[in-house]
Structure 1
Amino acid sequence: AVKIQSTPRQTDKNPSRRLLQVIGKDMRIVVFGFRPKTKQRRAVYDALVKCATPARIWDIYAFSSGPSKCVNTNPKVRLLNEYFRLLGKSSSSATMDMIEEGSFTLSNELWRISDINSTYTMCQSYPFALIVPECIIDQELLQASSFRARYRLPVISWCHSGTGAVLARSSQPLVGLMMNMRSNADEKLVASLCTQLAGGKMSRRKLYIADARPRKNALANGAMGGGSESSSNYFQSEIVFFGIDNIHAMRESFARLRDYLDTHGTT
């Protein structure tokens, strides 16, 4: 959203600035200040509106801004290099030839890089390469994906190559209205995230399943086939609900907070 604002009239020798406020979908706010009695603000406003609602796809800023200044601009190569670092394989360097040949599936004792989504046929919103437990085969990944909303199965976002600690992500499980649907492949995949503790101990790590939604929202999603995990079905796990409402409610709440601060100030 783009909002044109005017500052209160000032009586001193310094004329008030003209403001242009840009509110992004990610809740970031950028405010431009312009000299009075110029056409700068209108020109910037028109340019922003043109970028926000382009008449042609080639008018989108991503196409007109020029090439990236990164050393390697290919996102697949950058992703693989980050995966190699997480697996403790920093000595390896990703290349386009490696991607085209499918020879990027490195692994360590705990985790491996899978190319099962290399053509995005399993999950369109996941990257072409995924870090998964080394003990889980690709066929089990396919089975687990069918139990998750939009096929977003549990995959590793971060891992410690030494201790085995992980952060993983997924969409909600499709447990249904009665919350009684289960998937052996999904439960095995999640259990594989609970690596053995360091120091030769036989006990495994406790798995915390963090659900950002309020509990009532998770239960309500069961009516549409979704829902939430049950700690009784997932090995050594605890479900934690963060109680964060959906993005629309959060955006409205943030807008009300901004309006209050604009009206009453911060003190």
Structure 2
Amino acid sequence: MTVESSALYDVPGPKALARHRLYGFLALVVIAAVLGWVVWMLFHTNQFTYQKWTAFQYKGVQRLLLDGLGNTLKAFGWTVLFALPFGALFAAGRLSDHRPVRWVSTVVVEFFRAMPLLVMIFFIFVALKVEPLWALVAGLTLYNGSVLAEVFRAGVLAVPKGQKEAAFALGLRKTQVMTYVLVPQAVRAMLPTIVSQLVVALKDTSLGFLITFEEFLHAGKLIATNLDYDLPFIPVVMVISPIYIGMCLLLSWLAKWLEARGRRSPKEGATPIAEAGPVLDAQG
């Protein structure tokens, strides 16, 4: 039997394969032991008692969680709606040929990237007397929009220079070059990074509970600190965490789908060209 070679590494022999299997087995044993210890501790501290889980069977608690989830998605939706244009605008400003525009855009982006997100949210909420929802959205927009501005700028600069030079050679103006040549390629290249930043924005909506915004984590906190249900902190975490993880995975799946769709060949799905046949004259 011929063993395929690799230019990057040597193909493992029988002893190396045996070691790898042993390491894999030991890793699985350690992981299983850790998970078993965690489950045992949950039972040992009475986290699965009926009293701690009985809250979730009441419609009022279910409604509280659903309203909190809706508010989380609302804040996230407004953040995406504002942060993407904010990032695109200041990315264009940083790429501008006009020095004042470039300097102002750089100052804005670097300032809001460096400013702690929680400080911005508290400042907008306390000093400017903005409602909790819009204070949260404003803080998330300024921070994530500034990060996205750098992502967009890096994506445009990563496009090969030949693309830009060829577009200018065809007589296109700079705005047309950015709109039709550079930006579409940059977005496709940077799509995983863009979605990763949107996942960060989704998770950061949980900071809203610090300014009394009734989002998902705030609803969970109200349930977890309820003495009537014996402070069901761990049950609340076990209910809320999978939902957050599911939303983040859904965004990641959407990014992969969009990336695969963007890489699809333009020829796919096109109408097939009919085979050439004899040309008939007007008389048939």
Q: TM-score range by the shorter chain?
A: under 0.3
Q: Which has the larger Rg?
A: 2
**TM-score where L is the length of structure 2:** 0.20
**TM-score where L is the length of structure 1:** 0.21
Tell me which protein shows more strand as a share of its residues. Answer: 1
Higher relative contact order (CA 8 A, sep 6+): 2
